């Protein structure tokens, strides 16, 4: 089930709020938008996919590889790899920097498949970026 942000978000970060409220919205699951990149992370022990059998860890490795360009914090990778039978959803909260065109990572959120918060991390360490992480939690977690 996807949860979609229906009321305007107000994190205090004008650019992020504008993107969410006018261009995209926050959703759970596999999402690629201007404000988030998120993906279901399959358990290490899941080996069945589309009628074929993969080696243990192969599907999880594929899922984590989707985040290569964003450099997942090691604490998230450790947590994901610590439970071999758990489904997760990993969220990268981001915006494009206007001046240089680079992606600014505001923070990370990890939930279980039922949207329960497991771990969060702040990205650039600015109060506005931290407010994004805290501000989106009600939309992405239970």
Question: Across residues 42-63, what is the average pLDDT?
Answer: 96
CB 41 within 8 Å of CB 60: yes
What tens digit of pLDDT does each residue of 5-23 get? 567 899 999 999 999 988 8
What tens digit of pLDDT does each residue of 82-113 get? 999 999 999 999 998 776 668 899 999 999 99
Residue 2 has pLDDT above 60, yes or no: no
Query: Does 8 reside within a domain?
Result: no
- In whole angstroms, give the CA distance from residue 64 to residue 74: 12
Query: Does 60 reside within a domain?
Result: yes
Query: In this predicted structure, what is the pLDDT of residue 6?
Result: 65
pTM of the model: 0.92
Query: Does 115 reside within a domain?
Result: yes
**DSSP 3-state of 82:** helix
- In whole angstroms, give the CA distance from residue 56 to residue 63: 13
- In whole angstroms, give the CA distance from residue 114 to residue 28: 10
Query: Does 132 reside within a domain?
Result: yes
Query: Does 21 reside within a domain?
Result: no
Query: Does 59 reside within a domain?
Result: yes
Query: Does 3 reside within a domain?
Result: no
Query: Does 16 reside within a domain?
Result: no
Which structural domain, as residue segments, surrounds residue 46? 28-140
Question: Across residues 124-137, what is the average pLDDT?
Answer: 92
Total number of domains in the chain: 1
For 7, the token pair is: 């009321």
């Amino acid at each position: 089930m996807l949860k979609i942000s229906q009321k305007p978000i107000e994190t205090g970060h004008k650019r992020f709020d504008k993107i969410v409220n006018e261009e995209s919205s926050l959703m759970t699951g596999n999402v690629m938008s201007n404000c988030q990149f998120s993906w279901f992370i399959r358990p290490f022990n899941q080996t069945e996919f589309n009628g074929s059998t993969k080696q243990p860890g192969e599907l999880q490795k594929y899922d984590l590889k989707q985040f290569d360009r964003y450099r997942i914090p090691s604490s998230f990778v450790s947590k994901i790899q610590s439970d071999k039978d758990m489904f997760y959803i990993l969220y990268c909260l981001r915006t494009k920097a206007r001046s240089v065109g680079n992606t600014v990572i505001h923070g990370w959120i990890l939930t279980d498949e039922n949207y329960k918060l497991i771990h969060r991390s702040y990205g650039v360490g600015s109060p506005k970026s931290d407010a994004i992480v805290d501000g989106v939690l009600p939309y992405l977690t239970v």
